[in-house]
Structure 1
Amino acid sequence: MLDFLLYIVAGAGVGLAIGLTGVGGGSLMTPLLILFGFPYHVAIGTDLLYAGLTKAGGIVPHHRQRSINWPIVCWLAAGSIPASLITATLLSRVFEDPAQYQVLLTRSLGLMLVLTAIVVFWRDRFVGNRPANHGSDGDQPSAAKLRWTLLMGAVLGVFVTLSSVGAGAVCAAFLMLLYPHLPAIKVVGTDIVHAVPLTLIAGLGHLIILGNVDFVLLAGLLLGSLPAISFASRIANRIPNGILQKILATLLMGLGVKFFLF
């Protein structure tokens, strides 16, 4: 019972951070679970399902605002979802025990945390000059851009499955670089809508193919985080979250270097 209460508190803490700063849950939750002593594979698999379920509520508001570029979502998913399933299948076929692929998970987690920290540090520069027009789709995706989108989706599918990190911040950075005229609100909406099926499929891959999900942990995290995210989102405009973002980015960078090198 005490452990379950601890899971709720951890979920609430991460939920507050997500609501106040916009920093993705995966980049915060997985390192926290590992620091709590959960094996890497359980932390990553459980966090993927947690991320998919918590992000799912964002689809309807963005759909109503027409802030989703569906062609980009479809091309990202066409690369990421098959890559995620292939990655989980290869892990199950090549390795007999999760301990054998822990180093792969550790290095992937470290790399994605460092990339996320860099994106958070430079987020204002990425977003600052973007158009605010909600109705425009900005760039109409060319064939070349769609091929790059498919490739980036595949890369995300692999590394999100291995680390549970990157479906949000890293994908958003890619969209902002490849589609410089896509309005910021559509970058966010497109990113969230793609992250939901990716993290859910990756989480189900960890559950069904690898058996890496702890349902008691998942329930505790959801009970703590969902109300915390809602509360923090309502008060976020009263708090100088730029400072909080920099603090979290520094923490993520340190954790990323630790996981990647040590």
Structure 2
Amino acid sequence: MEFVNFGLVVAGLVVGFIVGMTGVGGGSLMTPILLWFGVNPATAVGTDLLYAAITKSSGVLVHKKNNNIDWSITGWLTLGSVPAVLMTLWFLSTLQTSPDAMNAVIKQALGFVLFATALAIFFKKRLLDFAHKRAGGNYNPSGPRLNGLTVLTGLVLGTMVALTSIGAGALGTVALFILYPMLPTRRLVGTEIAHAVPLTLVAGLGHASMGNMDWHVLGYLLVGSLPGIYLGSHLTGRISDEMLRPCLATMLALIGYKLAF
């Protein structure tokens, strides 16, 4: 096996292990790693999107079996995210005649979304505390208003994911915690994963149709990530979240700064 191919398998193993252990970090780590391997930004995003769709599908089966998915919330999120993905893909297709311009847009967006993801991970505990306090306060939207906010959240997530392949995990989970503070954590996480699969699948297939896909790279990543996720999931809780979260957030912030500036 060539060194680059071996490196891709190791990258898949490491990212899969981190995702299995922490539940976040998939796209936010994999896309920058692909850039480091010399994959151009558009292809890195497209490849990572299908990688995420495949790896998260197994998570949906587990969460569905354990009744951890609120399909109503998933539906409202998808109502906003899928049209946003299609519009974003259309915008990127208008830049296909100028690959440099498309890669520049994606690279800049990657930097800013990585920053946002780093902040969401670093301040996750405070954001969750805010959500729980709001649950006991006067501001508690419901009915059409809550559905509208959920669709709007899906729209923002869909745009970010189609542009950068990042956002469905850490940012999506935090957004759901704030919108639905009364739902158990396990159901919010399961709902976010259930929404992430069609979101990343549609976005990934759209990028593939534009040629932004490296099937060779995808195959090697999956070879490493599947056992990585299995191993990581068995070590959940063994390493303190208080230690992991700042390290992951700092690394993403540094990568985001380099890409954006």
**Could you tell me whether the CA contact under 8 Å between 2:15 and 2:25 is conserved in 1?**
no
Alpha-carbon distance, 1:186 to partner: 1.4
Report the equivalent of 1:66.
Answer: 67
Q: Is the 8 A contact 1:77 1:153 kept in 2?
A: yes
TM-score scaled by length of structure 1: 0.91
Q: Note the alpha carbon deviations across 1:8-36, whole angstroms, 9 max, x for none.
A: 11111111221222223100100111112
Corresponding position: 1:18 with 2:54? no
Aligned residue for 2:166, secondary structure, equals: coil
Q: Does 1:242 align with 2:248?
A: no
Instruction: Find the aligned partners of 2:151 and 2:131 in 1 and give their Cα distance.
Output: 23
Q: CA deviation at 1:5?
A: 1.7
**Aligned counterpart, 2:135:** none
- d(CA) in 2 for partners of 1:177 and 1:238? 27
What does 1:1-262 align with in structure 2 at a 5 Å threshold? 1-2=1-2, 3-127=4-128, 141-208=142-209, 210-260=210-260, 262=261
Moved over 3 A (4+): 125-131
Distance 2:5 2:103 in 1: 25
Aligned length: 253
For the aligned residues, what is the CA RMSD? 1.8
Amino acid at match of 1:156: L
Q: Is the 8 A contact 2:81 2:159 kept in 1?
A: yes
**CA distance in structure 2 between the partners assigned to 1:169 and 1:84 by the alignment:** 18
Task: Specify the alignment match of 2:137 in structure 1.
Answer: none
Q: What is the letter of the counterpart of residue 85 of structure 1?
A: L
**Structure 1 CA distance for aligned equivalents of residues 181 and 240 of structure 2:** 27
Whether the aligned pair in 2 keeps the contact of 1:113 and 1:256 (CA below 8 Å) is yes
% identical aligned pairs: 44
Return the alpha-carbon distance in structure 2 between the equivalents of residues 206 and 73 of structure 1.
Answer: 23
3-state SS of 1:167 partner: coil
The alignment partner of 1:165 has SS state of coil
Q: Secondary structure at the match of 2:234?
A: helix
Instruction: Please say if residues 95 and 101 of structure 2, whose CA atoms lie closer than 8 Å, have aligned partners that are also in contact.
Output: no
- Aligned partners of 2:197, 2:190: CA distance in 1, in Å? 11
